């Protein structure tokens, strides 16, 4: 083993699953006061997928199954299943246990992890920690969301943004360079983007027999926008410095797909060509913790990613939370 080489988690397979139902901007404009043009200009989103029959579990299972299949391993080789989700079908059993059963990953321990739209990145870092420490050899990391169920479909400020889906990567221990991630949380900014609380799921009945209002996602769009365009370039610079790399060393910047204007602003602030920032949010909207693995899977299946290329993954979202990680792409297609 070369001195620089250590044991690291290498992506051996990817997968994704999105619901069949397509909801385009024109259809949204039929039930809230908005327009296709407004949504496209302010967000870049043209359409999104909405889970009808699909669930957070079913999409996670399908994305995970594809990643395992591409890796060419048997499910009983999986040591751990991590599912990042902020919209599980149930609080428990956790989504990961359901995936474990469905895939027949009898030897795997599974748990869910919620860091909203940063969830996949933080789950990926967690998987790397288990692999580099030697505790696990094979970890399936999934981001899966039915976030449309948490959205207030009468609120034009939020309902235009989100979509459902799942993505997965199968990590396996191999000789390679271990990169240190950069990740942060700032709970003081939490009010900028919130989801429903458990206490609000138990609806109370008032004295007139009316049910209390169920909570939905609330967001201060401007605050979240400013947070993202300030913190994402910073954390990308931070992760590169930590690993003694430069912006020029990176082939692809795979960012959480929240808004095309955020991705554009990050590229501009870093003085980088927007072509290095692949996007698919026009088709899926913001799928929260699923966006990075759905995009990775698309780039992998299209053969855009080449063995030996360096990627930066960057996530950000509610918490507030944000982070970035570096990886060497090692899949040949
Ligand atoms: N259609 C038409 N008009 C809309 C609208 C919609 N869907 N949503 C808001 N507006 C209106 C507002 O009511 C406001 O009208 P007013 O000037 O008469 O008060 C006007 O458009 C401007 O609203 P504003 O909120 O300032 O727009 P914006 O340029 O900030 O865009 C977002 C709104 C939500 C698209 C933008 O703030 C954003 O993308 N933020 C980041 C959100 C995000 O990525 N969240 C997830 C992070 S993980």
Ligand 1, pocket residues at CB < 6 Å: 34, 38-39, 42-43, 117, 156-157, 160-161, 219, 221-222, 224-225, 258-259, 286, 317
Residue ID of nearest Cα to ligand 1 atom 46: 258
- Whether residue 126 contacts residue 136, with contact meaning beta carbons closer than 8 Å, is answered with no
176-229: per-residue pLDDT in tens?
999 999 999 999 999 999 998 876 554 555 666 665 556 899 999 999 999 999
- The residues annotated as belonging to the active site are 117, 256, 286
**Cβ partners under 8 Å of residue 76, min gap 6:** 104, 105, 106, 107
pTM of the model: 0.95
With residue 226 as reference, give the H or E element that holds it.
helix 221-242
Helix, strand, coil percentages, rounded to 5, for the chain: 40, 25, 35
The Å distance, Cα 36 to ligand 1 centre, comes to 13
Cα(36)–Cα(58) distance, integer angstroms: 30
32-90: per-residue pLDDT in tens?
999 999 999 999 999 999 999 999 999 999 999 999 999 999 999 999 999 999 999 99
The Å distance, Cα 44 to ligand 1 centre, comes to 12
Please say if the pLDDT value at position 2 is more than 90.
no
The Å distance, Cα 161 to ligand 1 centre, comes to 10
Q: Which of 116, 152, 225, 260 to mutate to test the pocket of ligand 1 (most atoms within 8 A of CB)?
A: 225
Q: Which of 27, 192, 221 to mutate to test the pocket of ligand 1 (most atoms within 8 A of CB)?
A: 221
On the 0-12 / 13-18 / 19+ scale of CB atoms within 10 A, 222 is exposed
Cα(231)–Cα(267) distance, integer angstroms: 13
The per-residue pLDDT for 197 is 80
- 99-103, 139-143, 192-196: segment of lowest average pLDDT: 192-196
């Amino acid at each position: 083993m070369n001195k620089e080489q250590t044991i690291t988690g290498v992506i051996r397979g990817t997968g994704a699953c999105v619901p069949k139902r397509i909801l385009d901007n024109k259809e949204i404009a039929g039930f809230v006061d908005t327009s296709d043009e407004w949504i496209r200009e302010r967000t870049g989103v043209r359409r999104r997928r909405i889970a009808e029959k699909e669930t957070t579990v079913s999409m996670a299972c399908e994305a995970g199954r594809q990643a395992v299949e591409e890796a060419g391993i048997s499910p009983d080789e999986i040591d751990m299943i991590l599912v990042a989700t902020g919209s599980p079908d149930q609080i428990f059993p956790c989504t990961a246990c359901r995936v474990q059963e469905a895939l027949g990953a009898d030897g795997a321990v599974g748990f869910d992890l919620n860091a909203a739209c940063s969830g996949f990145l933080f789950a990926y870092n967690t998987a790397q920690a288990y692999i580099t420490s030697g505790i696990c050899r094979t970890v399936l990391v999934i981001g899966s969301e039915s976030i449309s169920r948490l959205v207030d479909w009468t609120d034009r400020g939020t309902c235009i943004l989100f979509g459902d889906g799942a993505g997965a990567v199968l990590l396996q221990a191999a000789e390679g360079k271990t990169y240190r991630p950069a990740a942060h949380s700032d709970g003081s900014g939490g009010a900028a983007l919130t989801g429903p609380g458990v206490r609000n799921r138990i609806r109370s009945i008032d004295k007139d027999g009316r049910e209390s209002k169920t909570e939905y996602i609330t967001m201060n769009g401007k605050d979240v926008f400013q947070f993202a365009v300030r913190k994402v370039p910073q954390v990308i610079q931070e992760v590169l410095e930590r690993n003694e790399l430069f912006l020029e060393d990176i082939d692809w910047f795979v960012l959480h797909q929240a808004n095309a204007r955020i991705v554009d602003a990050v590229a501009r602030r870093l003085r980088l060509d927007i072509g290095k920032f692949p996007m698919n949010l026009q088709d899926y909207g913001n799928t929260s913790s699923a966006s990075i693995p759905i995009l990775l899977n698309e780039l992998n299946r299209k053969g855009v990613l080449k063995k030996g290329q360096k990627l930066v993954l960057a996530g950000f979202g509610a918490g507030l939370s944000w982070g970035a990680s570096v990886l060497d792409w090692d899949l040949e297609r």
